[in-house]
């Protein structure tokens, strides 16, 4: 290997380490900021935004299945049961031709 190959490997190694180091420092700064309590709600907000964007433009049947899944999630707080109910409502409505 030539010197330029070794230089490229060194530069990439430094860049990879720097990205991780900056992430650790930024995470520590964010954790100590006044916005830290908002981080507790972040996973839920991300899930809601993903579901909302995937439901945009879908037919009514998909919305009904999502509504059934939402009610199930609210009542049971069980992820597996929520998925099963959503799929069952969608599959059942599709099979009977709604």
Q: Tell which residue, 62, 54, 65, 61, has the closest CA to residue 88.
A: 65
Report CA 48 to chain centroid distance, whole Å. 9
Residues 59 and 11 in one domain: no
List per-block mean pLDDT (blocks of 10 residues) for the chain, which spans 98 residues: 93 96 90 82 88 91 93 94 95 86
So what's the pLDDT on residue 19?
96
So what's the pLDDT on residue 28?
86
The domain of 87 spans 41-98
Residues 66 and 18 in one domain: no
Residues 48 and 86 in one domain: yes
Say what the pTM is. Answer: 0.58
State how far the alpha carbon of 25 is from the alpha carbons of 18, 20, 34, in Å.
10, 9, 16
Contacts of 3 (CB under 8 A, 6+ apart): none
Residues 50 and 74 in one domain: yes
Residues 5 and 26 in one domain: yes
Residue 79 sits at the vertex; the CA angle it makes with 96 and 81, to the nearest 5 degrees, is: 40
So what's the pLDDT on residue 30?
84
């Amino acid at each position: 290997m030539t010197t330029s190959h070794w230089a490229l490997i060194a530069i990439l190694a430094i860049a990879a380490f720097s990205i991780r180091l900056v992430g650790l420092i930024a995470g520590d700064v964010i954790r100590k900021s006044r916005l830290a309590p908002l981080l507790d709600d972040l996973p839920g907000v991300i899930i809601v935004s993903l579901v909302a964007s995937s439901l945009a433009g879908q037919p009514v049947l998909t919305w009904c299945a999502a509504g059934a899944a939402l009610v199930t999630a609210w009542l049971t707080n069980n992820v597996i049961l929520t998925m099963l109910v959503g799929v069952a409502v969608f599959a059942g409505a599709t099979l009977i031709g709604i």
